[in-house]
A and B are shown apart, each in its own frame.
Chain A
Amino acid sequence: MASDARTELAGLLAETAKGDQTAFAELYRRTSAKLYGVILRISRRPDLASELLQETYLKIWANAGRFDADRASPISWMAAIARNRAIDAVRLQAERISAAAEELEPEDGPGLAAPQRGPDPADALSLRACLEGLKGDDRRMVLLGYLYGLSREELGERFALPVNTVKTRLRRALAALKGCLDGEPA
């Protein structure tokens, strides 16, 4: 059961927060392939990805005490750390191999958790609904940015748009998303 796994991961994180290296090793064993997949997809550099995975887990080790099981699922909390680290690396280190994210099928509305697996089913549902309210390309830009770590430049290449236009459309899309999620007019 997914919820059992979630409970166990939360328990391992709690033990990790107390400095239990056995629990941390088990946490690594269970989650590293997922986080490595996330990092690899964003960084596209296997050589870099190993180092990023290492740094990600050291950050998880250091911050495990901040994990709040009421606010996030363990795996998404950890994935967010991995994603942040990977985006830092690709953004702040110039020479990224800029392979376009061709494997993404933009029509899928990919990457939204099945509702029952999200931190809060209502959150996942409402985010999905709000994303679906965006224009197709705007939605794809948001998803490609978040899930694949594409920069404005890379989004511009992919959508054949000037960078400034990408920025304008991203901001418009995010503002609309905020309005939708927060229940206010954008």
Chain B
Amino acid sequence: MANPPERDGWDDGDAAEYVLGTLDATERRAAARLAATDARFAEAVRAWEARLDALTEGLTETEPVAPPSVVWPAIAARLPGGALRGGAAEGAEVVELRRRLRYWRGTTGLAASLAALLAVAVIVPKDRWAPEGLFPQPGPATLRQAEAPPAQTGPQGTYVAVLQPGGAAPAFVAEVDLAAGTLSLRPIRPEPAPEGRVYEMWVVGGGRDAPVSLGLLADGGELPLDALAGPTDGSVLAVSVEPPGGSPTGLPTGDVVFTGELIRAD
């Protein structure tokens, strides 16, 4: 071998293959442990990372693939102060949401390329909704289900979703009362759907095989919240741009302009 075994039971080839990525599972675990505990091995690993670094640049020349739009909200939720903190105390949630909304409103002067705008959907029982405190934005609800189905032993509880697209998009606060079956949206930064198009809201994931339409946002139609009667945890709200009347196929056909995962907040 070009590199004789070294004192500590490893040789430079182990470090090289660790960086190359060809070690099998057992060896890779052992190498990771070694890199954390053995300064000389760690140094050998760093040296190999430096040698092969030009290849890493080549990695990025692989064809880019747009990731699913649910990924960013999931990341944002796990950042410090992320609003999607399942199980967090409600008080903290409210403070965080208020802080974030103020923050995002404050960034409206930034270039469009920085406008990773925030849309927040709050699913909260009506009696706990405090519009004057939490979201003092003026403007009436643009959408409210006229005839709420009678409350039954259906889903209850507070859910929060942060809908955060990768690019510029309108942002809404959605107030959803699971018990009463109503959903209302209030625009934070209203921006109409593209000419001749409408917004349609979907719920996806949570064990559903396919997106389920919750209705159109732009025409004041009802949102059939019984579609949300399925699993809530793990579900994602998504808004797509569709032709007038909504998606002709029953599935989103246009760009999904924002999404956000529903996380239990109480």
Contact = CB atoms under 8 A, between A and B. Distances in A.
A34 B25 contact: no
Given A24-B79, A25-B116, A175-B2, A54 B13 contact: no
Nearest to A168: B1
A81 B247 CA distance: 39
Contacts, number: 188
Given A112-B55, A127-B54, A32 B71 contact: yes
Contacts of B62: 34, 37-38, 41, 147
B60 interface: yes
Nearest to A174: B16
Give the one of A71, A75, A178 with max B CB within 10 A: A178
6 contacts: A21-B81, A26-B114, A91-B24, A119-B57, A146-B59, A170-B17
A94 B116 CA distance: 37
Contact of A124 (B48, B57, B63, B113): B57
Contacts of A186: 2
Judged by DSSP, the binding face of A is helix
Given A87-B21, A170-B20, A176-B2, A50 B57 contact: no
B61 A175 contact: no
B21 A22 contact: no
A65 interface: no
Nearest to A21: B79
A75 B60 contact: yes
Contact of A32 (B22, B72, B113): B72
B196 interface: no
B75 interface: yes
A90 B28 CA distance: 11
A58 B75 contact: yes
Contacts of B3: 171, 175
Given A112-B58, A145-B20, A33 B79 contact: no
Interface string B5-29: 0000000110011001111110011
Contact-size category for A: 35 or more
A113 B53 CA distance: 10
Contact of A92 (B22, B28, B57): B28
A111 B54 CA distance: 9
B56 interface: yes
A119 B51 contact: no
B58 A36 contact: no
A182 B16 CA distance: 14
Interface of B: 1-3, 12-13, 16-17, 20-25, 28-29, 48-68, 70-72, 74-76, 78-81, 107, 110, 113-114, 116, 164, 166-167
Given A57-B75, A151-B24, A178-B16, A112 B63 contact: no
Interface string A150-178: 11110100000000001100111011111
B59 A38 contact: yes
A48 interface: no
Given A37-B63, A76-B57, A79-B60, 6 more contacts: A32-B67, A38-B59, A54-B78, A76-B56, A91-B23, A112-B54
Contact of A58 (B13, B70, B78): B78
B80 A28 contact: no
B86 to A, nearest CB: 15
Given A73-B57, A79-B56, A54 B75 contact: yes
A142 B64 CA distance: 22
